[in-house]
Amino acid sequence: MTTLSIAEVRAKVLSGELKLRDVVEASRQKIDAQNVEINAFVYTDFELALKQADEVQEKIMSGTAGKMAGAVMGIKDVICEREKPTTCASDILAGFESVYDATVIERLKAEDAVIVGRLNMDEFAMGSTTEYSRYGASKNPRNTRKVTGGSSGGSAAAIAADMVNASLGSDTGGSIRQPASYCGVVGLKPTYGRVSRYGLVAYASSFDSIGPFAHNVEDAARVLEVIAGFDEMDNTSSREPVGNYVETVQNPTKNIRIGVPEEFFGEGLDPEIKEGIEATLKKLEDDGAELVPIHLPHTKYGIATYYILATAEASSNLARFDGIRYGHRTDKDAMLDELKAEEEDLKKAIKAADGAEKKELQAELERMDSALVRLYKKSRTEGFGMEVKRRIMLGTYVLSAGYYDAYYGKAQRVRRLIKQDYTDAFKEVDVIVTPTAPTTAFDIGSEIDDPLQMYLNDVYTISANLAGICGVSVPAGTHSNGMPYGIQFMGDTFQESKILNAARLVEMLD
């Protein structure tokens, strides 16, 4: 039942063939049976979900149900839901419950989606595998030795394992599209500002977007249509009218102009993925699409630019987790004892020393942390994981006086050039096609010790976030290693209809 599309569930409920409660029960059974292994959900509340299902059932029967009636959903643990744990898979937010609903949650509920639980992710959405989580790694339902991709790995796996029929993730550099590719599902990153970020815990505020995962393009379109649109709570959200995305995918246009950027099909791309995508493009061409070779010359600077700007923004955004206002706080008494002992040791040493050494020790005593600063440091040291700490260090480094111009300032200028590449390209084409990721999902544990290798998994997704444009990944085939891979379509700002149209054409080739 959880493989049915949102519209199918709704139709079957209306015809009496199904009760919505049974679909939610089916979701519970799937999760009970498989979540121990897959580790997609980190929290569920079926009592609430079943109650909601009964309410929506009534509405469907009386013809008053909203657009999302029939959706049984999971939400990435970075999007606030009232009175539910919102931990961003971090120890620093262990036990934290949100006091309000993110705008996307409000909109989904208002349109009668049923939400069953919260989904695993890389801590604070930093990562490409969903291994950096306080809950442990999620596993790829297509092969449980493999990663799901990340950071929205739980959101992708929950769809691939048929636990729910739609989910939400967030995408800062590829975190929706890349796991969608690894797990063989549809994932869409909207244009920056298309969907309100109110209630999304910020990673890199000028890159973050919330978007849907689903089994098929139409369901992704349906979720997007509901969550998109201006929100007075987010002043970066756009007043651009929301498109009729569902209608678009129900009547897709075949004669579209598809830009094929040479820079995305070169070194590092798995040859089988390359061939597969070229074969798909050939079929689209046979059906009426026009393939246009294009160039995006600044692509090669994408990863470097992203990891300077995103870490800079992250270091600032994560400053709020200080052990005072939210979540984890170090054991205060132990910390004070430790501080006192250090102070006494220093004082003793000062007494015993003389000359230059004495002066140095005295200076050290003066530099000692205040109790407050020590509380911040210890709480953060204990609460944040390794990768998050790495990002904070990188980010504070590139923002520090003396390095700011060389790194942050320069990266901002390169970001502008990347954006310009896309603006120019979209004068010629409707969409740009690329592989979603250079490889299929790899073994759990194989890249965790090599951050640079890990960062390269985002090579094809990152520039859409740098440019603020939209992108979708749709399954394109299965590799001889048995794992799925996706094809990505990028569209100009607010051209979600065009990328959904293209994704639907690929889906129709099956």
Which residues belong to the active site? 76, 151, 175
> Across-strand partners of 76?
119
| Stretch of residues binding ligand GLN (CB under 6 A), selected from 173-181, 250-258, 405-413, 471-479 | 173-181
Residue 438, interface with ligand GLN (CB under 6 A)?
A: no
Q: Would you call 93 exposed, middle or buried from its count of C-beta atoms within 10 A (0-12, 13-18, 19+)?
A: buried
For ligand GLN, the closer of residues 158 and 314 by Cβ is 314
Question: Of 171, 225, 430, 447, which one interacts with ligand GLN (CB under 6 A)?
Answer: 171
CB atoms within 10 A of CB 100: 14
* Residue of minimal Cβ distance to ligand GLN: 175
Between 66 and 451, whose beta carbon lies closer to ligand GLN? 451
Please select the residue that binds ligand GLN; options are 70, 74, 127, 199, rule is CB under 6 A.
127
| Residue 263 binds ligand GLN (CB under 6 A) | no
- Based on the shown chain and the rule CB under 6 A, indicate whether residue 209 belongs to the binding site for ligand GLN: no
CB of 126 vs ligand GLN, minimal distance in Å: 5
CA–CA gap between residue 282 and residue 278 (Å, rounded): 6
- Of 31-39, 120-128, 375-383, 497-505, which segment contacts ligand GLN by CB under 6 A? 120-128
Can residue 392 be called a binding residue for ligand GLN (CB under 6 A)? Answer: no
Chain centroid to Cα 232, Å, comes to: 23
Q: Is 218 exposed, middle or buried (0-12, 13-18, 19+ CB in 10 A)?
A: buried
* Subset of residues 299 to 318 that bind ligand GLN, contact rule: CB under 6 A: 310
Closer Cβ to ligand GLN, 170 or 497, answer by number: 170
Q: How far is CA 438 from CA 400, 458, 487, in A?
A: 34, 8, 11
174 binds ligand GLN (CB under 6 A): yes
Q: Are 149 and 168 in contact (CB under 8 A)?
A: no
Site size for ligand GLN, by CB under 6 A?
A: 14
Q: How would you list the strands of the sheet with 114-119, edge to edge? A: 41-44, 114-119, 72-76, 166-171, 209-214, 186-189, 470-478, 484-491, 431-435, 257-261, 290-294
According to the binding rule CB under 6 A, does residue 436 interact with ligand GLN? Answer: no
Nearest to 149 by CA among 123, 177, 119: 177
Confirm or reject binding of residue 129 to ligand GLN (CB under 6 A). no
Q: What's the rounded Cα separation, in Å, for the pair 378 and 166?
A: 39
Using rule CB under 6 A, residue 126 touches ligand GLN: yes
Chosen residue from 81, 123, 313, 458 binding ligand GLN by CB under 6 A: 458
Contacting ligand GLN (CB under 6 A), which of 74, 173, 261, 383?
173
Closest separation in Å from C-beta 382 to ligand GLN: 22
Handedness of CA 18, 24, 29, 35 (dihedral sign): positive
Q: Does 90 bind ligand GLN (CB under 6 A)?
A: no
Only one residue has tokens 């007043």, namely 239
With binding defined as CB under 6 A, does residue 128 bind ligand GLN? yes
Give the C-alpha separation, 113 to 499, whole Å.
24
Q: Which of 112, 115, 116 is nearest to 29 (CA)?
A: 116
The tokens describing 412, both together, are 């901002």
Of 44, 148, 172, 436, the one binding ligand GLN by CB under 6 A: 172
Decide: is 447 part of the binding site for ligand GLN (CB under 6 A): no
Could you tell me which stretch among 86-94, 164-172, 368-376, 484-492 binds ligand GLN (CB under 6 A)?
A: 164-172
Q: In angstroms, what is the minimal distance from the CB of 101 to ligand GLN?
A: 21
Least separation in angstroms between residue 178's CB and ligand GLN is 7
For residue 161, which of 127, 185, 131, 137 has the smallest C-alpha distance? Answer: 185
| Beta carbons within 8 Å of 91's beta carbon, 6+ residues apart | 134, 328, 382, 383, 384, 385
Least distance between ligand GLN and beta carbon 317 (Å): 12
Stretch that binds ligand GLN, among 6-14, 96-104, 165-173, 330-338 (CB under 6 A): 165-173
User: What is the enclosing helix (H) or strand (E) of 108?
Assistant: helix 103-110
Q: How many CA atoms lie within 13 A of 449 on its CB side?
A: 2
- Looking at the Cβ atoms of 86 and 128, the one nearer to ligand GLN is 128
Beta carbons within 8 Å of 275's beta carbon, 6+ residues apart: none
Distance CA 413, CA 308 (A): 12
Nearer to ligand GLN, 352 or 386 (CB): 386
The answer to the question of residue 125 lying near ligand GLN (CB under 6 A) is: yes
Q: Which is nearer to ligand GLN, 20 or 466 (CB)?
A: 466
**Nearest to ligand GLN of 31, 210 (CB atom):** 210
Query: What residues form DSSP beta bridges with 171?
Result: 209
Q: What residue ranges bind ligand GLN (CB under 6 A)?
A: 125-128, 151, 170-175, 203, 310, 458
